[in-house]
Structure 1
Amino acid sequence: MKTIKFSLGMLIALTFAACSANKGNYESDSASADSTSIETSVSDLPATETKLVKTANIEFKVHDVYRSSRHISQSVRSLGGLVTHHNIESTPQGSKTIPLSNDSLLVVSSYDVEAEMTVRIPSNHLEEFVQAIADDATFIKQARLDVDDRSIDFLSSSLKQQSRQKILDAQNLKEKLKTKDALTIADEQDQVIEQKMNNLRTEANTRYSTLELRFNQNTLIKKEAIPNNDLSTYRSPTTQRFGDALATGLNFTLDLIIGITHLWAFIILGIIGWLAYRYFSRNWKQKASSAQ
């Protein structure tokens, strides 16, 4: 945990060090520009505040991805931020089936769970949010901070916008405009609007820092009892099957007797034929013996 806090502490320190350095560089550049403003005839340039766009990328490990996702979302909302992307993915790694009884099985599966989040945090609360991540993480894999100073670009865009607007205002004062001139003015106005939009985007990116978060946990083991879908395993108890066999045999014997009873006429004819055969056979033997 000390290593985690140290890593994120370094990220926080780099954040404010970069801000201070950029601010100092900007002030130095402004001072140099002021010292030569008489020679360059641009002493009327308006002063502009520092426009720093900060983005960060943090990869870390947590105890529980789902719980940490809730904690991070709550922290973002409490600080006045916004979650712009959130994805949790569970990748199966393997499974094993263990019989519990004839009609149930225990399925043991392993999953790798990983989450990705993109959040926008008010820049003045960046340190507090990073500290909240440090308190929840068990290991920091990577922590990267990028600071983009857009102060000069913002000032350049603002000056161009004002200049174009003045020209357009002067053109619009004319009572009559040719179609070609009107179309040109319309194109120029579109460019002015686009510059305004770019400045608004820069303002928004300056007020809110964007953080890309990627975190995972140890392999998740899940146990689940499910019904056995092998129908051949579903059998009655042995005593019940033995009783059923006796009953089935008795029913088969009775059915056989009843079936034989239906043949009573043939049975009687068979008996009469057998008795007649015995009678004539005996008489034939007696006659044969008398003849000798």
Structure 2
Amino acid sequence: MKTTYIKLSLASVILLGIYSCKKGEVAESNYKMEATADSASAVVSDSVSSAATMTVKDKQFIKTADVNMEVKDVYEATIAIEKSVQDLGGFVTHSNLQSNVVSENTYTTSDEEATLIKKYQTENTMQVRVPTEKLGELLTLINNKKLFLNSRIINAEDVTSSIKYAELEGKRIQKTDENISQLKTNKDKVKMDDENMAEGNLQQLANMDVTDNLKYSKVDIYIKEPQLRIAEMAVTNTKNIDNKYQFNFIYDIKNAFVEGFYLIQKIIVGLVTIWPILLIIAAALYFIRKRKSPKTNDQTLSE
């Protein structure tokens, strides 16, 4: 019974979450129409969407943004964005600056020197968190660094209903805990108490996540340079160095003479080492020749 009740509660959370997202989209659309109608009498920066700065009575929004643009210098833009985020009371959660090498060639300039030419493109993928009320200001500062804006997506998710439902769930969990405490202590009570406590912990974690996301907006930033950069680096002419030391005639002749002398020494030492075998072979040859000599003399006399 308890498990079925928990499943129904989770299903209700999912359905209300979907409903709140849809409701948030409608509210955002209505608000944009009102902002457009009032734009003639209000001074609004063209670089910031109304979704980043809007406030609606009795509504709470989780705001996020995604910016993709090209800048003159990725490194300088990265430093400027990080400083702006810090000045606004935010923080950087991810920054991956890298240079993608397109080609790399080495050109000889002298017998000892050469120049390494690298063609590369620098990019950075960042994620920052900034106080929600400062989101519009941060987007304006980021926009000032652009050469070309590829895309900018700003989301304002209405979580008012979800927050209200979370409050009701908290009261339900508390009431369930009170009811369980009145039961007689047994294995079932311990299990029910443990399940209710686990559900309460999950609810508290969800509440903390929502609170954090309401307080700080997440901004994903991708910046790159529009054209390739060229890096020229002085290096050693390794090819000429290899040719220079690959063959030395005088040294090789001297070394060959010494190695030949050592080879003769090794041969002599080897022969001395196997002298018993040589002695046996010499004795065998002597007896063979001695046996052949009488036969040769007998053939000569018979003729």
Corresponding residue of 1:178: 186
| 2:248 maps to 1:211 | no
Of 134, 139, 164, the residue aligned with 1:125 is: 134
* Partner in structure 2 of residue 9 of structure 1: 46
Separation of aligned partners in 2, 1:213 and 1:120: 11
Aligned partner (choices 45, 60, 82) of residue 51 of structure 1 = 60
C-alpha distance in 2 between matches for 1:84 and 1:232: 48
CA distance in 2, matches of 1:91, 1:61: 15
Contact 1:114 1:214 in 2 (8 A): yes
- Which residue pairs with 2:73 in the alignment? 64
**Bigger-Rg structure (1/2):** 1
Q: Is residue 223 from structure 1 mapped to residue 232 from structure 2 by the alignment?
A: yes
1:7-46 equivalences in 2 (<5 Å): 9-16=46-53, 19-20=54-55, 23=56, 27=58
CA drift of 1:187 comes to: 0.4
Counterpart Cα distance in 1 of 2:218 and 2:63: 7
**Equivalent pair of 1:83/1:119 in contact (CA under 8 Å):** yes
Normalising to structure 2: TM-score of the pair? 0.61
Pick from 167, 173, 176: which aligns with 1:164?
173
Alignment of 1:246-261 (within 5 A): none
- Report the equivalent of 1:200: 208
- Write the distance in 2 (CA, Å) between the matches of 1:203 and 1:127: 20
Give the Cα–Cα distance (whole angstroms) in 2 for the partners of residues 181 and 164 of structure 1.
15
One-letter code aligned to 2:206: N
Q: Tell me how far 1:60 sits from its aligned partner.
A: 0.8
Gaps of 5+ in 1: 1-7, 28-49, 236-247, 249-292
Give the structure 2 partner of residue 142 of structure 1.
151
The amino acid across from 2:191 in the alignment is L
Cα distance between partner residues in 2 of 1:78 and 1:178: 57
The answer as to whether partners of 1:102 and 1:233 remain within 8 angstroms in 2 is no
**C-alpha deviation, 1:158, in angstroms:** 1.2
Paired residue secondary structure (1:83):
strand
Q: SS where residue 49 of structure 2 aligns?
A: helix
Distance 1:137 1:232 in 2: 48
The CA deviation at 1:51 is 2.6
Conserved 8 A contact 1:103-1:234? no
Question: 1 CA distance for matches of 2:100 and 2:93?
Answer: 23
2:97 aligns to what?
Answer: 88
The CA RMSD over aligned residues, in Å, is 2.1
For 1:105 and 1:232, locate their aligned partners in 2 and report how far apart those are by CA, in whole Å.
14
Report sequence identity in percent: 22
What's the offset of the Cα at 1:11? 3.7
Q: Secondary structure at the match of 1:138?
A: strand
Q: Distance in 2 between matches of 1:149 and 1:156?
A: 13
What's the secondary structure of 2:116's corresponding residue? strand
Alignment of 1:89-108 (within 5 A): 89-108=98-117
1:76 corresponds to 2:85 = yes
Checking the alignment, whether the CA contact within 8 Å between 1:61 and 1:138 is kept in structure 2 is yes
Selected match of 2:198 from 178, 183, 190: 190
In 2 relative to 1, CA 184–105 (structure 1 residues): closer, same or farther, beyond 3 Å?
same
User: How many residues end up aligned between the 2 structures?
Assistant: 200
Give the structure-1-normalised TM-score. Answer: 0.64
How far apart, CA to CA, are the structure 2 residues paired with 1:10 and 1:131?
A: 6
Q: CA deviation at 1:112?
A: 1.3
Query: How far did 1:89 drift?
Result: 2.1
* Structure 1 SS opposite 2:124: strand
The AA in structure 2 aligned to 1:189 is M
1:99 and 1:189 mapped to 2: Cα distance? 73
CA contact (8 A) 2:180 2:192 kept: no
Distance 1:131 1:70, change over 3 A: same
